[in-house]
């Protein structure tokens, strides 16, 4: 086959000639930068370089972080926590209306603030218990859940319009929930409409093997109207009942950890992240690592825009004080001091940069190999 000099190959890979010589040496090929190597050897050394490049480097700060998290995990007793609910359903079946109705009527707005902010999640307090709702597109909650192996959602409320019945996205939601092993509660919506047909909805769901309790199955189905609010309290009861069955628990004290639900750069306030606390208590003044960002919690806000001093398991809260904007789906974890928070964040950033470079180098290697 064709031959290429070591220095030409190095140039094409944007590497130093010496690095290619070293890689060749490791493969048992003695060559100087001016010598030529054959096609097969070149492919092998490119693979060797690529392989070496993608091997993750050791990270001391991550190890220390893990030790801290594990330490914290061994302290504290598990206690009941509120359920985290995602609302899914076919287009126009009433997801937003239902969330809005619950928010409007159930989220207490403070005297001072007055305006309910959109923070991607909110929690409601009922006489029987607290429920948190994720106000994100349902599939997004699942995508980040799946890719991280972490569960954000405990229960899916699947909204099905009683005048329209089961539609393609209804079936998709059923499949998502089933794959993620998250229980479903069916909200049969638009019951105020004259052509509402809840029986049809139940029968069509039966065809998807989602069986209503009155059909001898296990799936709670609540008839309601997001417009009038009729039946909404029954839905909240059903959620709390399901939550009891699931025996949802978390350690309610100690250092907090959880997941970013939403984030943005606010003109006045800087980076703002809405996080869901999944264990421990997040407090003002805490140091935390959040994806590749870090910082000290300058302020916490709830969904009504009021400052709060802390947030426990299943409670969503807005965090101010991060070094930059994290990504939705990033984990956050509270650490003992600023030094570790900064070290972990910087190492992660360096790694991210490195993997971007490796990707670029990989693309170049492919180009080189294609030319040979």
User: Does position 172 bind ligand GTP by CB under 6 A?
Assistant: no
Q: Which residues of 245-273 are buried (b: 16+ CB within 10 A; e: fewer)?
A: eeebebbbebbbbbbbbbbeeeeeeebbb
Write the DSSP string, 132-144. EEE-S-HHHHHHH
Distance of CA 38 to the CA centre of its chain: 48
Tokens matching residue 362: 């990989």
Identify residues 209-238 at the interface with ligand GTP (CB under 6 A).
225-227
The answer to the question of whether 39 is labelled as a binding residue is: no
Choose from ligand GTP, Mg ion, none: what does 92 bind? Cβ within 5-8 Å by kind.
Answer: ligand GTP
Instruction: Answer whether 326's CB lies under 8 Å from 344's CB.
Output: no
Choose from ligand GTP, Mg ion, none: what does 192 bind? Cβ within 5-8 Å by kind.
Answer: ligand GTP
Tokens matching residue 188: 């049969």
User: Does position 96 bind Mg ion by CB under 5 A?
Assistant: yes
Tokens matching residue 291: 């994806």
Please choose, out of 92-100, 123-131, 259-267, 350-358, the segment that lies near Mg ion by the rule CB under 5 A.
92-100
DSSP-derived pairing of the beta strands 307-308 and 293-301:
antiparallel
Q: Is 190 left (phi over 0), alpha (psi -120 to 50) or beta?
A: left
User: Does position 91 bind ligand GTP by CB under 6 A?
Assistant: yes
User: Does position 139 bind ligand GTP by CB under 6 A?
Assistant: no
- As measured in angstroms, the least distance from the Cβ of 190 to Mg ion is 14
Please choose, out of 96-104, 181-189, 256-264, 315-323, the segment that lies near Mg ion by the rule CB under 5 A.
96-104
Q: How many CA atoms lie within 13 A of 154 on its CB side?
A: 24
- As measured in angstroms, the least distance from the Cβ of 163 to Mg ion is 17
N residues, the chain: 372
Binding mask 179-208 for ligand GTP (x = CB under 6 A): ----------xx-xx---------------
Choose from Mg ion, ligand GTP, none: what does 225 bind? Cβ within 5-8 Å by kind.
Answer: ligand GTP
The position carrying tokens 């619950």 is 102
Cβ of 147: how many Cβ atoms within 10 Å? 9
Please choose, out of 36-44, 52-60, 91-99, 117-125, the segment that lies near Mg ion by the rule CB under 5 A.
91-99
Which residues contribute to the site for Mg ion (CB under 5 A)? 95-96
Residue ranges binding ligand GTP (CB under 6 A): 89, 91-97, 189-190, 192-193, 225-227
Which residues define the annotated binding site?
Answer: 89-96, 135-139, 189-192
């Amino acid at each position: 086959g064709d031959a290429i000099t070591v220095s030409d190959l190095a140039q094409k890979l944007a590497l130093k000639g010496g690095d290619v010589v070293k890689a060749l040496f490791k493969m048992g090929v003695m060559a100087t930068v001016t010598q030529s190597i054959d096609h097969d050897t070149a492919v092998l050394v490119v693979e060797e370089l690529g392989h070496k490049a993608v091997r993750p480097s050791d990270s001391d700060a991550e190890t220390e972080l893990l030790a801290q998290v594990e330490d914290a995990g061994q302290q504290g007793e598990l206690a009941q926590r509120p359920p985290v609910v995602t609302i899914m359903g076919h287009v126009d079946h009433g997801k937003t209306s239902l969330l809005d109705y619950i928010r409007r009527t159930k989220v207490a707005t403070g005297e001072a603030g007055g305006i309910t902010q959109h923070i991607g999640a909110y929690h409601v307090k009922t006489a029987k218990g607290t429920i948190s709702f994720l106000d994100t597109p349902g599939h997004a909650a699942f995508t980040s859940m799946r890719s991280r192996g972490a569960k954000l959602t405990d229960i899916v409320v699947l909204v099905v319009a009683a005048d329209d019945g089961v539609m393609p996205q209804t079936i998709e939601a059923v499949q998502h929930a089933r794959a993620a092993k998250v229980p479903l509660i069916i909200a049969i919506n638009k019951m105020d409409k004259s052509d509402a047909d809840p029986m049809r909805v139940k029968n069509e769901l039966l065809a998807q093997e989602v069986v209503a309790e009155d059909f001898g199955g296990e799936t709670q189905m609540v008839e309601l109207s997001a417009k009038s609010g009729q039946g909404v309290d029954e839905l909240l009861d059903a959620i709390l009942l399901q939550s009891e069955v699931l025996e949802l628990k978390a350690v309610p004290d100690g250092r907090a950890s959880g997941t970013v639900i939403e984030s943005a750069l606010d003109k006045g306030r800087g980076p703002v992240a809405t996080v869901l606390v999944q264990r421990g208590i997040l407090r003002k003044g805490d140091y935390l690592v959040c994806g590749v960002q870090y910082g000290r919690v300058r302020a916490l806000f709830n969904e009504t825009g009021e400052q709060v001093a802390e947030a426990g398991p299943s409670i969503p809260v807005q965090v101010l004080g991060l070094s930059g904007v994290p990504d939705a789906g990033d984990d956050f974890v509270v650490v003992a001091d600023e030094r570790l928070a900064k070290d972990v964040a910087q190492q992660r950033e360096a790694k991210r940069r490195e993997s971007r470079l490796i990707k670029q180098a990989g693309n170049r290697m492919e180009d080189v190999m294609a030319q040979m």
